[in-house]
Amino acid sequence: MSDTSPQLVWSSAHLALAVEAAGVALWSWNVDDNGFAMDRQGFDLWGLPEAASVSFEELSAHIHPADRDRVRAAFIATRSVAGSYEIDFRIIIGNDVRWISARGQGADAGIVDRRMFGVFLDVTGRKQAEEGSELLAGEMSHRVKNLLALATSLTELTSRSAGSIADMTRELTQRLTALGRAHDLVRPLPGQQGKAALLGDLLSILLAPYDDTAAFSGRIRVAVPRMGVGERTATTLAMVVHELATNSVKHGALSSAEGTLDISSRADDADVELIWAETGGPAVSAQPDMTGFGSKLIARSVASQLGGSIDYDWQPTGLVATLRMRKDRLAA
pLDDT, average across residues 86-110: 88
**163 lies in the same domain as 46:** no
Q: What Rg, from alpha-carbon coordinates, does the chain have?
A: 32
Does residue 249 register a pLDDT over 90?
A: no
pLDDT of residue 257: 77
**204 lies in the same domain as 324:** yes
At 178, the pLDDT band (50, 70, 90 cuts) reads low
**DSSP output for 275-332:** EEEEESSS---SPPP--SHHHHHHHHHHHHHHS-EEEEEEETTEEEEEEEEEGGGTT-
Q: Single out the residue in 56, 89, 122 at which a domain terminates.
A: 122
At 193, the pLDDT band (50, 70, 90 cuts) reads very low
* Percent of the chain whose predicted confidence (pLDDT) is above 70: 78
Contacts of 301 (CB under 8 A, 6+ apart): 236, 239, 240
Between 45-54, 136-145, 201-210, 316-325, the lowest mean confidence (pLDDT) is in 136-145
- In this predicted model, which residue has the larger pLDDT, 327 or 192? 327
Q: Give the CA diameter of the chain.
A: 104
**199 lies in the same domain as 285:** yes
User: Quick count: other Cβ atoms within 10 Å of Cβ 195?
Assistant: 18
First to last CA, the chain: 76
pLDDT of residue 202: 83
pLDDT tens per residue across span 103-155: 988 888 888 888 889 999 999 888 888 877 776 666 566 556 655 655 665 57
Cα–Cα separations (whole angstroms), residue 213 to 38, 209, 218, 219, 318: 70, 8, 9, 10, 22
**192 lies in the same domain as 65:** no
At 274, the pLDDT band (50, 70, 90 cuts) reads very high
pLDDT of residue 240: 83
pLDDT of residue 277: 93
Domain that holds residue 96: 12-122
Position 105, amino acid: Q
At 214, the pLDDT band (50, 70, 90 cuts) reads very low
- Bridging pattern class, strands 318-326 and 309-315: antiparallel
Instruction: Tell me whether residue 158 is exposed, middle or buried, using C-beta atoms within 10 angstroms of its C-beta: 0 to 12, 13 to 18, 19 or more.
Output: buried
Cα–Cα separations (whole angstroms), residue 1 to 4, 5, 6, 13, 63: 9, 12, 15, 33, 57
**102 lies in the same domain as 189:** no
Collapsed DSSP state (helix, strand, coil) of residue 145: helix
**162 lies in the same domain as 295:** yes
Q: Single out the residue in 102, 122, 142 at which a domain terminates.
A: 122
pLDDT, average across residues 210-228: 70
Tell me the pTM. Answer: 0.47
pLDDT of residue 247: 79
- The number of distinct structural domains making up the chain is 2
pLDDT tens per residue across span 282-300: 887 777 766 666 677 778 8
Q: Single out the residue in 97, 122, 147 at which a domain terminates.
A: 122
pLDDT of residue 215: 44
Q: Is residue 16 part of a domain?
A: yes
Angle, CA 239 vertex, CA 143 and CA 258 arms, to 5°: 140
Provide the CATH number for the domain around residue 95: 3.30.450.20
pLDDT of residue 46: 92
* Percent of the chain whose predicted confidence (pLDDT) is above 90: 12
pLDDT, average across residues 220-248: 81
Q: Is residue 4 part of a domain?
A: no
Average pLDDT of the chain, as a whole number: 79
**142 lies in the same domain as 249:** yes
In terms of residues, how long is the chain?
332
**217 lies in the same domain as 262:** yes
**44 lies in the same domain as 144:** no
**169 lies in the same domain as 277:** yes
**197 lies in the same domain as 143:** yes
User: Quick count: other Cβ atoms within 10 Å of Cβ 199?
Assistant: 23
